[in-house]
Amino acid sequence: MAHPSSAPLTLSAVGPLTGRVRVPGDKSISHRALMFSALAIGTSRIEGLLEGEDVLATAAALRAMGATIVRDAGGWSVDGVGVGGLLQPANALDMGNSGTSTRLLMGLVASHPITATFIGDASLSKRPMGRVIAPLSQMGADFTASPGGRLPLMLRGLCPAIPITYKLPVASAQVKSAVLLAGLNTPGITRVVEPVATRDHSERMLRGFGAEVSVETTPHGKIISITGEAELKPQHIVVPGDPSSAAFLVVAATIVPGSDIVVENVGLNPTRAGLFTALRLMGASIEELDRRDVGGEPVADLRVRHAALTGIEVPPDLAPSMIDEYPVLFVAAAFATGRTIARGAEELRVKESDRIAAMAAALGAVGARVTEIEDGLLIDGTGGDPLPGGATVATLLDHRIAMSMAVAALHCRAGITLDDASPVATSYPAFFDQIAHLRGAAA
């Protein structure tokens, strides 16, 4: 699933964004919907699944381990193999660019009596997997990884695995989920201690599938417990719109004068909505319309209008609920009045790229005043004026860098060229078409 040859793309400002648009399905929920459906006994239905490359990598891996996954006119159907029923894959599992696929599937395989080799593209192969290897090794899985705990990586699962209590050393929904997924096929109770809350899609959805999951709040954080040897029941899942995808459109409408858009069906799980909180603290106009509940997840349509932003010190406790959105927050800050201090984002150093360094370089190249610090950026904004633009920026095979700088280009005096726009297909294949639609509606 390597990317095709690079696809440079130049974008420039052409006036306000107006109209309505619907973002693709939530990526985190899409991955989990496929995985849990593959472990249920019977047929599950999934509507609104994100059909980006990352989620399709998950589907392909699950097919290779015995699940039947089919797309039809009404969405997707998954015939599961049951907990403990994953089969030995005949070939290496190609994760493409998807860290979520890799880490969560490692959790699934760890408590099955099978061996799987995980491979990925050049970007994914640079990302460390040690944070997942450590707890899964305690449960009995055996790993042969490339230097630095990286891909390619061979995992030999153990069945029965050993239930553990694992305290997360850093906030990570992926590590938490990997341990819980390994615990599904492990006798006894597996526990994860979470000092700082992270996205809770796994806990919500596992309960929906019939797993016995409990969450206890203590002075030391949350303790999430799962009872193993579970029997999952098939479900009908409606995937809400991805707030991480919506973030790019929300920031675009906020910074481009005259803009007024509605982004439909956005998931607003409180463990994912930190960016919207931060933008409102800066003065953004984000109105929730028709707030409702879809499949256990809060959802609303967001009306976003251009607004003058003021720099803030981003509250550190927001970091886990907006870690993927920091790059586009940096873009918003570049157009604010005054300084924005964005700390607590150390995890960005080990994403698809070093997103702190990548965004510092990209924003600096188009004229923003940016200072890089170890765990974030200090950004002195333009006060709402356009940035100079007129540069080619490196996207580093990272979809969020590419989309963030595409948003920045919408309020620059001269165009910005992305050296490679193709990684956007990993999470938001229709992104550029939807931007064009909103710009066209303004004409």
- Domain presence at residue 2: no
The token pair at 354 is 């070093």
Looking at the structure, tell me whether residues 192 and 54 fall in a common domain.
yes
Amino acid (1-letter code) at residue 297: E
How many Å apart are CA 43 and CA 387, to the nearest integer? 52
* Predicted pLDDT of residue 210: 96
How many Å apart are CA 410 and CA 412, to the nearest integer? 6
How many Å apart are CA 405 and CA 417, to the nearest integer? 9
400 assigned to a ligand binding site: yes
Looking at the structure, tell me whether residues 262 and 359 fall in a common domain.
yes
Number of domains in the chain: 2
Query: First and final CA of the chain: distance in angstroms?
Result: 38
How many Å apart are CA 9 and CA 7, to the nearest integer? 6
* DSSP code, position 40: B
- Domain presence at residue 155: yes
* Predicted pLDDT of residue 379: 98
Looking at the structure, tell me whether residues 217 and 304 fall in a common domain.
no
Cβ-in-10-Å burial (0-12, 13-18, 19+) of 264 comes to: middle
Looking at the structure, tell me whether residues 274 and 128 fall in a common domain.
no
- Domain presence at residue 115: yes
- Domain presence at residue 3: no
Look-up of token digits 């356009």: 386
142 assigned to a ligand binding site: no
* CA-based radius of gyration for the chain: 21
- Provide the annotated active-site residues: 324
The alpha carbon of 345 is separated from its chain's Cα centroid by a whole number of angstroms, namely: 15
* DSSP code, position 139: T
111 assigned to a ligand binding site: no
* Predicted pLDDT of residue 1: 35
Q: Which domain holds residue 40?
A: 27-238
pTM: 0.83
235 assigned to a ligand binding site: no
* Predicted pLDDT of residue 3: 43
* Predicted pLDDT of residue 21: 97
Across the chain, which has 443 residues, the per-10-residue mean pLDDT values are 67 95 94 98 96 95 98 94 97 95 98 98 92 98 97 98 96 94 98 92 94 95 96 95 96 98 96 96 98 87 98 92 94 98 84 88 98 94 98 94 98 98 92 94 47
32 assigned to a ligand binding site: yes
* Of 292, 248, 249, nearest in space to 267 by CA: 292
The alpha carbon of 117 is separated from its chain's Cα centroid by a whole number of angstroms, namely: 23
303 assigned to a ligand binding site: no
Looking at the structure, tell me whether residues 71 and 173 fall in a common domain.
yes
- Domain presence at residue 322: yes
355 assigned to a ligand binding site: yes
* Predicted pLDDT of residue 441: 58
- Domain presence at residue 75: yes
How many Å apart are CA 317 and CA 329, to the nearest integer? 15
* DSSP code, position 45: E
How many Å apart are CA 416 and CA 388, to the nearest integer? 9
Residue 414 phi/psi, 5-degree rounding, is: -125, 160
Looking at the structure, tell me whether residues 361 and 227 fall in a common domain.
no
* Of 106, 166, 96, 94, nearest in space to 133 by CA: 106
Looking at the structure, tell me whether residues 382 and 287 fall in a common domain.
yes
Looking at the structure, tell me whether residues 232 and 246 fall in a common domain.
no
317 assigned to a ligand binding site: no
How many Å apart are CA 230 and CA 417, to the nearest integer? 50
Which residues touch 325 (CB under 8 Å, ≥6 apart)?
A: 243, 244, 247, 274, 275
CA distances from 405 to 96, 166, 236, 392, 400 (A): 23, 38, 37, 10, 8
Looking at the structure, tell me whether residues 70 and 158 fall in a common domain.
yes
- Residue 114: CATH number of its domain: 3.65.10.10
How many Å apart are CA 239 and CA 79, to the nearest integer? 18
